[in-house]
Amino acid sequence: MSDLLKQTEEITKIILEAKKKAQIETKEDKSKDFVSNNTDIEWPINCVVGPGLEGAIACTSKIGYVNGAKGWLIYRGYDIFDLCAYSTFEEVSYLLIHGKLPTKDELDIFNKKLINYRDINYTIKLLMGLNVEEMNTMAVLRIGTNFIRHDSTFIDSKYYKPDFNSHISSDEDSIPMETKPMGEKEAIYEFKKADYQEKSKIMEKELVDPIGYKSSYRLLSGVASVAGAVARLRQGKLPIEPNPELSFAANLIYMTTGKIPTPVEERIMDVSLILHADHGMNASTFATMVVASTLSDMYFAVGSGIAALNGPLHGGANAEVLKMLKEIGDIDNVEQWYEKKQQNKEKVMGFGHRVYKAYDPRARVLGPLAEYLIQNSDNKESKKIFKIAQKLEEQVIAHLGKEKKIFPNVDFYSGIVYSCLNIPVELFTPFFAVSRVSGWTARVIEYVQRNRIFRPRALYIGEFDKEYVPIDKR
């Protein structure tokens, strides 16, 4: 058992309590949907497909399984509760990407690589050229993946344009504006030829593995470092260098807040990372796989995952939940607020799920962890928000639990957990993305081994045989 697990045994107890509760509540249900024992599937498969590809089977996978009726979440055969109780995010990422739990040596090598790839100085330098404080944090994260792509692979060098014979030195004022100064053929940036050549060699190696492990590791560490840098830049502070002594979770908090977390804070962040690492063929995973299936590369693919995750129906819900709880404002307002929502037929953020028709196992863990953090905090505002959340949960379950199987989802309590860890609200969804890079890239690596470009069809319900009318006659 690692030192961190020993130091945080009370967290393990909370997780195992949640596991027990889940087992009791779902023990009657034995159904296993969307499972096959046959690894050599014969296509096509008969399935009932709804709009938005609901119910469609697009591929086979050994990576993760969600059973919505039971409230099960399984990574590579392991129950999510056990992984949260006994494992670490680094180990779980290795498990998702490589298909087995690592030996001690394998984990050491993996950790060393991840630590090495945390250092993305050039990417941070490029990010600092943006107005990060004015931009959507997920937009910056997405741009960050393009910068990491450029920095790590120099894959675009074939588009590298300058003619070295004609380049001129430019001072700061003249760089972007002066396109045709007097007496010069053309003004261009002063590129460093030596750097370019060195990168080019790296690129050659990297190109062999554009949708493989190396890109996956780089993104896993790099996206976390970008998230930390974004948080700092938004506070008007300089990004912090990663600390190689710290675990993935501790370093993420450190690079974001500037403070080394306590063991309990580190463990709770670690558990949250594990819980968000993979979740079947959800929208962002599907987006990632669609892009990778065109044999674009991992960096573009993860960038699309980030874009898809941003929406309020997906990962963006965690930030919306906190806004909603603040808007309710007081525990005494909950009933009235909820009644109004019902009258207007509006959805309550952080509830419901396309797949789960039972309590989301991730919320089963995050709810009690939020409560634990609140009990040990003297932040009155957080305590108030948590009480509002508990009351709202009671209300929604009482009205929609039995009838429509609506329960809290992963996003309902994750925001409260993050805010107790001093993570700013605009970083909630980027943190979700940081965790999900492991699942996204694991699924891409698996899929491209038997790649088939995604290409569903739409049912055309439009017209035919219309006569073109010239614009002046319309």
Ligand X SMILES: CC(C)(COP(=O)(O)OP(=O)(O)OC[C@H]1O[C@@H](n2cnc3c(N)ncnc32)[C@H](O)[C@@H]1OP(=O)(O)O)[C@@H](O)C(=O)NCCC(=O)NCCS
Sign of torsion, CA 99 102 105 111?
positive
- What is the C-alpha to C-alpha distance for residues 422 and 255, in angstroms, rounded to an integer? 12
255: helix, strand or coil: helix
Answer yes or no: are the C-beta atoms of 431 and 223 closer than 8 Å.
no
Site residues (CB under 6 A) for ligand X, limited to 317-336: 317
- What is the C-alpha to C-alpha distance for residues 213 and 437, in angstroms, rounded to an integer? 12
- DSSP secondary structure, 64-109, as one string: EEEETTTTEEEETTEEHHHHHHH--HHHHHHHHHHSSPPPHHHHHH
Identify which of residues 216 and 395 has a Cβ nearer to ligand X in the complex.
395
CB 410, min distance to ligand X, A: 5
Please identify which of the residues 353, 360, 399, 472 carries the catalytic annotation. 353
Which residues, 6 or more positions from 363, have their beta carbon under 8 angstroms from its beta carbon? 407, 408, 409, 410, 412, 413
CB 302, min distance to ligand X, A: 19
Q: Does 313 bind ligand X (CB under 6 A)?
A: yes
Identify which of residues 34 and 86 has a Cβ nearer to ligand X in the complex.
34
Site residues (CB under 6 A) for ligand X, limited to 405-464: 406, 409-411
Cis peptide before 44 (omega within 30 of 0): yes
Site residues (CB under 6 A) for ligand X, limited to 231-270: none
CB 340, min distance to ligand X, A: 13
CB 391, min distance to ligand X, A: 16
Helices (H), 119-236: 121-127, 137-153, 193-207, 213-234
Identify which of residues 147 and 412 has a Cβ nearer to ligand X in the complex.
412
Identify which of residues 89 and 351 has a Cβ nearer to ligand X in the complex.
351
Measured from each CB, the residue nearest to ligand X is 352
Please identify which of the residues 151, 270, 297, 411 carries the catalytic annotation. 411
CA distance between the termini of the chain: 75
The reply to whether 353 belongs to the active site is yes
Copy the structure tokens of residue 58: 């697009």
Maximum separation of any 2 CA atoms in the chain, in Å = 84
According to CB under 6 A, which one of 205, 259, 404, 452 is a site residue for ligand X?
404
Cβ atoms within 10 Å, residue 170: 17
Identify which of residues 288 and 293 has a Cβ nearer to ligand X in the complex.
288
Print the binding letters for residues 263-302 with ligand X: x by CB under 6 A, - otherwise: ----------------------------------------
**What phi, psi does 344 have (nearest 5°)?**
-85, 5
- What is the C-alpha to C-alpha distance for residues 176 and 418, in angstroms, rounded to an integer? 40
Helix (H), strand (E) at residue 392:
helix 380-396
Q: Candidates 29-37, 147-155, 287-295, 398-406 — which segment interacts with ligand X by CB under 6 A?
A: 398-406
411: helix, strand or coil: helix
CB 353, min distance to ligand X, A: 5
Give the residue carrying structure tokens 């890079």: 437
**What phi, psi does 72 have (nearest 5°)?**
-100, 140
Identify which of residues 237 and 326 has a Cβ nearer to ligand X in the complex.
326
CB 53, min distance to ligand X, A: 12
Q: Candidates 95-103, 132-140, 223-231, 402-410 — which segment interacts with ligand X by CB under 6 A?
A: 402-410
Site residues (CB under 6 A) for ligand X, limited to 338-357: 347-354
Identify which of residues 295 and 398 has a Cβ nearer to ligand X in the complex.
398
> 258 in the Ramachandran plot: left (φ > 0), alpha (ψ -120 to 50) or beta?
left
CB 397, min distance to ligand X, A: 11
Q: Candidates 11-19, 82-90, 384-392, 404-412 — which segment interacts with ligand X by CB under 6 A?
A: 404-412
Print the binding letters for residues 105-144 with ligand X: x by CB under 6 A, - otherwise: ----------------------------------------
Answer yes or no: are the C-beta atoms of 223 and 252 closer than 8 Å.
no
- What is the C-alpha to C-alpha distance for residues 162 and 159, in angstroms, rounded to an integer? 10
CB 313, min distance to ligand X, A: 4
Identify which of residues 265 and 278 has a Cβ nearer to ligand X in the complex.
278
The reply to whether 411 belongs to the active site is yes
Which residues of this protein are in contact with ligand X, per CB under 6 A? 313, 317, 347-354, 400, 404, 406, 409-411
Catalytic residue ranges: 353, 411
